[in-house]
Every structure is written in C-alpha cells, then in structure tokens.
Amino acid sequence: MKEYTEPGTIEVADDETLYSLLTDRIERTGEDTVIASRKTGPGSWANITTGEFHRLVLACAKGFMAFGVKKGDAVTLFSATRWEWGVLDFALAAIGAVNVPIYDTDSAAQAKRILNDSDVKIAIADDAERFDRLHSVMDECPALQRILMLDSNALGALEGLGVSVSDEALQERIDSVHADDLATIVYTSGSTGAPKGAELTHRNFLSIVRAGFICMKEMICDDHPRLLLFLPLAHCFARYIQYCSIGSDDGVVGYLPDTHSLLPDLRSFRPTYLLGVPRVFEKVYNAASRKAGMGMKGRLFAKAAEAARDWSRTAQEGRRHTLRQISEHAMYESAVYRTVRGALGPNIKYVACGGAPLNPDLAHFFAGIGLPMIQGYGMTETAAPFTVTRVDDNRIGTVGRCAPGSSVRISDDGEVQVKGANVFRGYHNLPEKTAEAFTEDGWLRTGDLGSLDDDGTLTITGRAKDIIITAGGKNVSPIPMEEIINTCPIVDHAVVVGDGRPFIAAVVTLDVEGLAAWLPAHGLPASTPLAELVDNTMIRNEIQVYVDRANAQVSRAESVRKFVVLADHFTQDNGCLTPSLKVVRPKVLSVFADVIDHDIYANKR
C-alpha cells in the first residue's frame, strides 16, 4: 500500500461558514464587481458589486426566515446556472439552512425522490417549465410547503416578506451557524447506481476552497481573474469554483444559463479561465477542426494540431525545443493557435477540466497552443476536487497532488483512497452505504483505480466497477480506449463492452454537429438520417481509424475486435447520460442489450 500526505495545513475556524467567504472579501477589499449576469441578448452584461450582492443575500436570508425556514431545514434550488442561484445559495448558508440542489434537467419523478428524501420545505424553480415539474409532484411531497419562481420575482417576494425580520434576529441566526454544520445535500448523478445524497458541511467546502487559493493561485487569484460559468451549479465542481471566485480578492464570475450564444458571450465577457468537463473541450477542438474544413485549411489545422501536441510533450519531458519546432510553432501561432484561443475570449489564460477522464492528446493540444489544461480529480463526496495539477507542475496524464494536509493512498488491490477535511460526513438516510464508503481506519473508498508516484502525484487508471473481465479471464480497462475513439470528429460517445464475452467490442453513437460538416465533404447530404449512416462504409472506415489507434495502445486480447454504430444517442431521457454528461455504463448495457447480443456477439458465445 502506497500513501502520501501533502505538506502544510488549511485552517478553518469553527465559527466560519460559506457566508464568510463573502463577508471576508468585503472586509479585505471593500465593494467591487463580484458577479455579472447576461442581459436579454448575447454580448451584454450587467455587473453586481459585492455590496449589492451582500444586500440581496441578507434580504433573501430574512425572507427565508419569514417563511419559517429554520436552521437545518432543507430548501431546493431547481434552476439553470444564473446569478440568482448564487444569491440564494449564500442566503441559505448565512442562516444555516441546507441547500438541496436539483439538476435542471431532472424529471419530476427524480425531483420528487430528492424532495422527499431530504424533507425539502421550500423549493425555488427558475422558470415556468421547471416550476410545473415541481408543482406536478407537490401533493406527493408532504414536507414541501411552497414553490417560488425566479422568473416571477422570487427574490422580490423574499425581500418583501423579509422586512418583518429584524436585523438582530438575522444576526443571531448567522452567529448560530458553524463550520461543522450541514451546508448542503448533493445527490450524486448516478453513473454507477441510484443517486445518493452526500452530506457536505461548511468546513468541507471552505477547506477545499482555501486549498484552491494555494494550489491554483495563478488561475483563480492572480491578475484580475474572470470566470464564465455555464456548468450546472447543482454539480459540486461548478459550485466549488463559484465559491473560489467570490471568495478571492477581486474575482468576477459571469453566470451563463445556456450556451446557445457561447462564442459571442466569451468574446464579450472576456474570461481569463474556463472550466468544463472533457466533452466541452472535445467539442471546442472538433469545432475548430470542422471550421478548418477538409481542404488545404484542414490539412494546415491537422499539422498545426500535431505540432502543438509535440511542442507540449517536448516541454513536459524537459527537453529543449528544436529550431524546427520553434519555427513551426511561430508559424502556426499566427495561422491557427491565436484563432483557437481567441474563440474562448481575448483574455483566456487557463482552462480547467474535471468530472471525467480527459484524453492526454487533447490536453497536449491545448497546452501546445498556449492554454495550460489544469486537471483535477474528485467526487461529490469530496466537495469536488481532491487532487489538482499545479501550473508549475502540470504533468499531463496525471490528476496532480492533493491539498495541503490531505492524504491519498493506493490500496493493495489498486483502489484510490483519500482522507482530508473536504471529505463528506456521510450519505443522507443511508447509514449502511456510508459505512461501506469508508475503510475501517477512516479512509474514503473512491472506487477508482490509480497509481501514485513518490512526489504524491496521482494517476487514475480506471474504475473498479468498469473493469471488464472477458470470457478468457483477461482484465480490461475500457476508459483509455474510449478516450481515443471519442476523439473521432463524428463520434459522440463510445462504450467498450465485453464482460464475460469472448472478445472486446464497442458501441458507438454519432455526433450530429460533426456529421454536419463531415457528410458534405464526403459527398453525402448533411440531412442524411442516422439510420442510413450506421452501416455506411465511409462512416465505418472513419471510425475504424480511431479504433485502430486505440487498439495500438493495448494487447490483442484487449483490443476492440468489432464495433456497432447506433442510430440512437445516449441521453438523460434514456438514462445513458447523467446530468453532468457522464456515460452510465450499466444503463448503456441494458438499453442496448439486444444490439450487443445480436449485432456483436450472436453465435460468438
């Protein structure tokens, strides 16, 4: 068993809460711009200062108290990413209420389960459609007393009702909240089973936010950082980075409810850093490739992309760049790299990725064009990140080191296990599941497989539950192969299968945006139905190129012998995708069982 503890400590006083992030900032720096919200059209932003934000937080906190919300009561936010989410989150933290967020894509049935499991007293939806989803199950939620809607001035209603609560009563409530009080119950997105409510305290979040100020100082603290946030705030990853921005000295976070006008929003907001899941950055790369086209510009982009990856690998290996590399890099900088970076905004300096495995080639591309890809690893149960690469120690292929004072170890069977102040206190109403989540000596079992070097740098190699054991007894980790196949510009998702089967295979879904550019370049109408493409020879040959690349990394026993292209997609509706866009492998195997049985393994048993 190998174990590493990062030197140093992170201090969180017993009387501190998430609300303290805001008040401490105001005390340190006075009033300045802290958040921005997009106006009705793209490219236009309204700024809100820390003072204005604080006044809204206190007004809403009083409103919740007037509605009868007591310390420890659960309140749900069912909303897309918007600035009011931040106001309400800090208001709930201030008075010791428990924020129970629901993904904005969740169904009424999913929402009902969460509302009842956590005894939610008040729910706030952002628009009429989500309000109706909640209202349709209200009679089946005994604890739910009231539903408010942001689009119908929920903040104004809270502020109006809150005038009945005195400043003294509010301050008394604020003073009663402490670091080890429950701050939120976040329901896992369910990629490996039914969602469970992870109970996270104020200390859990504060410790990892303050670790971020140390470990990612260059990105989230230095040179007037600006973050454009479009990931769902029901996800710990987005919520964590919101706290980092608001808790820094002069960070500004822009809230983007949707990505329909992402490119003009990026240009106008001018972020200095972005965070996303791997699929976001895959789409950025594929969009740049599609824009270049299939002719001379396309060939130029392909050469520039390979040169960028080569540039990054050379730097990471500590070798000096050759004169040829330097010359090519300068040429591609003006012809390609500057344009790709500019698509993410004129001031972009860093991109951060987490939530799922990232293909190293993609990370090398971004690093090679001058955008360091900061990678992290964590879980809902660790309030998002547990390890992260540093700007000055950004080894691509790894997920970095843990926070000061935290520990990580690899068990004898290869599982990553962690211990630290940001580790959750348990699953809501599930004592047996909580006990299963921890070892006898108090370490959190992550369920992920990994390795640890002597410097404490962690590399994730797979997930224990994802390991495929073929009929021949060969253990296969599917994720590395899926990462490579997913880089195909016309592939949306690839899932490697073969547990208990005679050989390894894959099911593949097609990327609609990628096809729109690829099909006309190959003499087919962009509107060609998916059902006509699944057996198309050109489509299969294009995917086979990437399957061959994946196979080149493994032994023959581990290689993908056969793949099938699906006429369907993995979606949240069919249960194959979580709200954070992770593939739910067991659901894929279930939903597409007939295809796997008959189109891949028929007569192959």
Please tell me the distance from the alpha carbon of residue 97 to that of residue 119, in angstroms, as a whole number: 12
Domain 31-177+216-276: CATH architecture, name and number where available: 3-Layer(aba) Sandwich (3.40)
Asked if residue 453 has pLDDT above 60, the reply is yes
DSSP 334: I
What mean pLDDT value characterizes the chain? 93
CATH superfamily of 467-600: ANL, C-terminal domain (3.30.300.30)
Looking at per-residue confidence, does 264 or 185 come out higher? 185
pLDDT band with cut points at 50, 70 and 90 for residue 465: confident
pLDDT band with cut points at 50, 70 and 90 for residue 260: confident
Strand 350-353 to 373-379 pairing:
parallel
Please tell me the distance from the alpha carbon of residue 401 to that of residue 456, in angstroms, as a whole number: 6
Residue position matching structure tokens 């012809």? 335
Identity of residue 574: N
Looking at per-residue confidence, does 262 or 269 come out higher? 269
Please tell me the distance from the alpha carbon of residue 6 to that of residue 457, in angstroms, as a whole number: 10
DSSP per residue, 275-295: EE-HHHHHHHHHHHHHHH-SS
Residue 603 confidence (pLDDT): 61
pLDDT band with cut points at 50, 70 and 90 for residue 320: very high
Structure confidence by residue, pLDDT tens digits, 229-254 = 998 999 899 999 999 999 999 999 99
Tokens of 302: 């392909």
Structure confidence by residue, pLDDT tens digits, 130-148 = 999 999 999 999 999 999 9
Domain range list for the chain: 31-177+216-276, 467-600
Cβ 515 vs Cβ 505: under 8 Å: no
pLDDT band with cut points at 50, 70 and 90 for residue 419: very high
CA 75 from centroid of its chain's CA atoms: 23
Asked if residue 604 has pLDDT above 60, the reply is no
Entry pTM: 0.84
Residue 605 confidence (pLDDT): 41
DSSP 581: -
Planar angle of CA 408, 411, 416, nearest 5 degrees: 45
User: For the CA atoms of 102, 104, 110, 113, what is the dihedral angle to 10 degrees?
Assistant: 20
